[in-house]
Amino acid sequence: MAEPLFDRAFVAARAIVDGAERQCVVAVRDGRIAAVLDGAQSESVAARETIRLADGEVLLPGLVDTHVHINEPGRTEWEGFDTGTRAAAAGGVTTVIDMPLNSIPPTTTVDALAVKRDSAAAQVHVDVGFWGGAVPGNAGELEGLHAAGVFGFKCFLVDSGVPEFPPLDPAGLAAAMAETSRLGALLIVHAEDAETIAAAPAPGGASYATYLRSRPGAAEERAIERILAGARDIGPARPRAHVLHLSSAGALAQLRAARADGVDVSVETCPHYLAIVAESIDDGATQFKCAPPIRDGGNCERLWEGLAGGEIDMIVSDHSPCTADLKRLDTGDFAAAWGGIASLELGLPVVWTAARARRHGLADVVRWMATAPADRVGLTHKGRIAVGADADLVVFDPEAEFVVDPARLQQRNPVSAYAGRRLAGLVRQTWLRGERVDPSGTARHGRPIERGRRE
């Protein structure tokens, strides 16, 4: 008997391939997609194992989440590589890029990057890459971090919330832009203007409306204006810039104009800005606190318009967990509560629930949550079902519904802004390089990854 040509074959009546839904067979060999065949050929494919999707299930590429706070080492009680990557696998996310802050040490030196990689190596259930950090005084470290394979550099223009990762002043931002431009590296920016926030009302107390006024949309718009002006000023070797977690749709016009001028800038938003509106947030409900904040329903719809029109490139989680006590749910004080929403496991169903209500299809969701983020960070072998890509695959049931129970999530701390919400879409299976990932199991198939290097 002839040796099977493939290790596994996934037979799907519905799969998202090349931006459209089609019937196909995805054949896997040595962890990569070796063939994408017409569904009519399913009986003729020779594979050691055949996985046939059930009626109604859809084969998706594994999602790529480029904005995740794992927090290990140093604040592992907030999350950690084990629990964070279990949550990713449960949510159909097969690649995450970990943020450089909230861990101790932050990833602002080559030595700190080595500590983080060592912490991750034996724990991860999905692939994990790392951002470097641009902070005051570390411009000389950026070249070494870039050579060591970070996917770019994150900076803040406002207080980050942790003292070990301070923001850049205007001169520091200019220096970081110049250095990342020289290196050809991506500079990713938490874009809120510190002076605008300092002049806004203080956020104290349980009133969400007060908290929202403390971080107005103008703070984002002015910070983005600074980023775009800086990018234009550098000259022919313009930097590659990326605006993190856009919440204010008021910034879209200037981003559109900058792109028309040739500025290399990309933009992300997050599930919570697309599925939650300020009008629905009760006073004292600090599980909804994040920065920039969740804004009103009209703003939410304009963000959806930005996605539909290509002005917003991608959707990522900004998974920013903490221990339950730091959310100050007992007092409901928005000034004292940690700002961040944990959604790594729930991003796909949250976005799908909101997207289908606006007549978007799964191909749109895959573009926003898999292909676009993968492409922006250079992971062109991920985030797609294509010959030569890693066999990172998700079996998704778009019609199944469930009610979010935080106690059943894989993340370390059972705090969720989506508690009690009914969502559509269940991840049935997650596969990483052709190996099934069990989020509750002991086997670990993930590995630390580097920019520009394919394992």
Quickly state the pLDDT bin for 275 (edges 50, 70, 90). very high
The whole model's pTM is what?
0.97
Rounded mean pLDDT, 207-236: 94
The confidence score (pLDDT) of residue 454 equals: 87
List, for residues 308-322, the tens digit of each pLDDT value.
999 999 999 999 999
Q: Over pLDDT 90: what percentage of the chain?
A: 95
Q: Mean pLDDT across the chain, nearest whole number?
A: 96
Kindly list the distances between the CA atom of residue 201 and the CA atoms of 25, 197, 246, 290, 445, in Å, as whole numbers in the listed order: 57, 8, 21, 17, 48
Q: In this structure, are residues 26 and 59 in contact, taking their beta carbons and an 8 Å threshold?
A: yes
The confidence score (pLDDT) of residue 317 equals: 98
Residue 281 above 90 pLDDT?
yes
Quickly state the pLDDT bin for 3 (edges 50, 70, 90). low
Amino acid at 68: V
Topology at the third CATH level for domain 62-380:
TIM Barrel (3.20.20)
List, for residues 104-156, the tens digit of each pLDDT value.
999 999 999 999 999 999 999 999 999 999 999 999 999 999 999 999 999 99
Largest CA distance in the chain: 77
Tell me the domain boundaries of the chain: 6-53, 62-380
CA distance 156 to 260: 26
Token representation of residue 73:
């080492």
Residue 1 above 50 pLDDT?
no
302: number of Cβ within 10 Å: 17
The β-bridge relationship of strands 265-269 and 314-315 is: parallel
List, for residues 173-192, the tens digit of each pLDDT value.
999 999 999 999 999 999 99
Chain length of the chain:
455
CA distance 211 to 218: 14
